[in-house]
Amino acid sequence: MKKWLLATLLVLSAGLLKADVSVGYWFDCPQEMTAANVDGVRFGLPVSAGNGTVDGAELSLLLSATRNVDGLQFSLLGANIGDFVDGAQIGYLNLVSSELQGSQWGFFNHSPQRGWQIGLVNCCTGNAQFQLGLVNYNAEGWLPVTLLVNFGRDTFKD
């Protein structure tokens, strides 16, 4: 009941602020979501995916997979996938293919560069700023593999 109330409040507040609200059901369904840009909230019931940009929040049950996200990307039971994320990804599996400017919170987090990662397993093939997790891999970090905490090379530079 609380989740439905929160979702209803989100939709109403987005409407009051004249923000976009779109709902996706599967990949390319509805078709107009494939390339649409959303300035507001995009829901995935259960999947939200597209090649456009979400400036606000993308919330889904199983998969949030919009290419560019400026804000929050959240998946209740599954994964978040994006090329460029400026904000936060929260889900079991979080994947960024270009650049993360923000944070990832989940069981497994992957980013090619930048950002903060908090989860059980964190992987950055470039230089993550900070990692907190059971196992952390930061290819260009102070130490490539650590347990619990890892820092990027540029974390403490002015």
Q: 52-61, long-range: CB within 8 Å, 24+ apart, which pairs? A: 56/14, 56/19, 56/20, 57/10, 59/7, 59/10, 60/24
The arithmetic mean of pLDDT across residues 4-26, rounded, is: 58
Query: What is the predicted pLDDT for the residue at 16?
Result: 42
Gap between the Cα atoms of 87 and 70, Å rounded: 6
More confident site: 138 or 26: 138
- Three-state DSSP class for residue 99: strand
- DSSP annotation string for 107-126: EEEEESS-SEEEEEEEEESS
> How far is CA 24 from each of CA 65, 127, 158, rounded to the nearest angstrom?
11, 34, 43
How much is the mean pLDDT over the chain?
Answer: 84
Two tokens, residue 105: 């919170």
Q: Residue 13, Cβ neighbours under 10 Å: how many?
A: 12
Query: What is the predicted pLDDT for the residue at 136?
Result: 95
What residues does 151 pair with on adjacent strands?
A: 130
Does residue 5 register a pLDDT over 60? no
Residue 112: cis peptide before it, omega within 30 degrees of 0: no
- Three-state DSSP class for residue 2: helix
The answer to whether 141 and 156 are in contact (CB under 8 A) is no
pLDDT per residue as tens digits for the range 17-66? 556 777 766 777 676 777 778 888 988 889 988 888 899 999 999 999 89
